[in-house]
Every structure is written in structure tokens, then in C-alpha cells.
Amino acid sequence: MPVSAGSPLAPEYETENLDLVRKGLENLQAHCENAHRFGVPVVLAINRFHTDTDAELEFVQKACRESGKIVDAVITNHWEEGGEGAIDLGKAVIKAAEQKSDFRFLYPLDIPIKDKIETIARDIYGADGVDYSPEAERQIEDYTRLGYDTLPICMAKTHLSLSHDPALKGRPKGFRIPIRSVNASIGAGFLYPVAGPIRLMPGLPTRPAYYDIDIELDTGRILGLS
């Protein structure tokens, strides 16, 4: 039952199917646990769409509330009703904000680059370990030599799985994260390891095209878009 952008949903996603919801819950619960790791109160918003049934929504809400990892799970439809549809969510956020927090980072910045990457892979993704390409090994050595090893890590990987592999659904186990390269955004202040076949967005040129875009004040016509 693959889901592809722009394609109609399979019937299983448009009719009540608590077994399918149950299978998806392990992924959601992993995300709740990951947010909980940082020591701040967590509120889960459950968007209500036209294909969702009350039984499915209440099933998710009950399971998340009983996990002990979040302050509350709130069914909301602000995407349809605007502010009116988010009143209960807002109340839950206020309740969470009033609770004591104990914010903590996932790792200290002064540990080696590989230790940071492996902490993310193990604790957040649930991987057994990390494998580095020869290029990534060289880059890590260079950044360490240049003093960039104290920068935080921003992982570049697929959003379709907790792992690096879009085909590994739910809460996968028994996998390793392959790091094909480790790049540096020195101005922004982080290193970004590239996990698996993920594509990166291109950066801006030296002189971005938006410098040539303008608006005619008299007509409101936009100039420079073509």
C-alpha cells in the first residue's frame, strides 16, 4: 500500500482500519519518545481529516496519552477551521508551558564528530551503528584538524523512514546508517552528514536572481520573473 504524492490513496487509507493505524503507531510513538528525550513537555496534535473516523482518532489519542511520553494528545482541525479548530490544542500547549521543563541537548558539542553522528543514529533513529565511506572519513579528519569538530550535527536523510532507507517503515530494527559524505555549513554553524541516497537542495549562486525582481508601483506588475 505505497503512498505517492499526487496519486489517489489506496482504499485502506480511506476506510476505517484500526489494524493499519496500530502498525503506524510505533513510528509515531518513536517520535514522541525522541521529543521527550530533550526534557521539555510535549503536546501532540492529531489532525482530523475527512477520511479519519472517530474510532481511529480516539485510538491514536488513547495510545499516545498512555505512553507517558507526552503531556497530551489533542484532536484538532485548525487546517479547516482556523483558530476555532485549534482551541483545545492551544489549551493543551498552555498547560504544557506551565509545567517544569528540564531541557537538555542530545550530546555535548566537545565530543568527536563520529560520536555525535552515532548518538543520533543510535538514540533517535534506532540504528545498530554507522558506516562511513572513505570520503566521509577524510572529511571528518579535515574538519577535526581545522577545529570544526565542535559544531553540532544536522543529518541529511530521507523523511520517509526513521532510517536512511525509505522502504523501512514503522520502527525499523537491525539496520546501520551509511554516511556517504560529511559537509560543512560554516556560516550557519553546523556539519551535515549525508545518509544514504538522499538528494540535497542546491545552494544559492553568488548573486541570487531575487536581486533582479521588482514591482512596478503604478501597476503592481512583478518584474524579473522570466
Cα separation, 123 vs 38, whole angstroms: 12
Q: Flag whether pLDDT at 102 surpasses 70.
A: yes
DSSP H or E run through 46:
strand 43-47
Arithmetic mean of pLDDT, 184-193: 94
113-195 has which fold? Formyltetrahydrofolate synthetase; domain 3 (3.10.410)
**E-assigned strand segments in 69-220:** 72-76, 129-132, 176-185, 190-195, 214-215
Phi, psi of 195 (to 5 degrees): -105, 120
The cell numbers describing 91, all together, are 489549551
- At 1 the pLDDT is 63
List, by residue range, all CATH 3.10.410.10 domains of the chain. Answer: 113-195
Q: Which of 51-55, 77-81, 202-206 has the lowest mean pLDDT?
A: 202-206
- At 152 the pLDDT is 98
- At 11 the pLDDT is 83
Arithmetic mean of pLDDT, 185-207: 87
Which amino acid makes up residue 75?
A: I
Q: Flag whether pLDDT at 226 surpasses 70.
A: no
The Cα-based distances of 215 to 11, 16, 204, 218 in angstroms read 47, 50, 22, 9
Sign of CA dihedral 64, 70, 74, 76: negative
Cα separation, 125 vs 170, whole angstroms: 11
Q: Flag whether pLDDT at 114 surpasses 70.
A: yes
At 100 the three-state DSSP class reads coil
- At 208 the pLDDT is 79
Cβ neighbours of residue 95 closer than 8 Å, sequence gap 6 or more? 71, 72
The cell numbers describing 215, all together, are 514591482
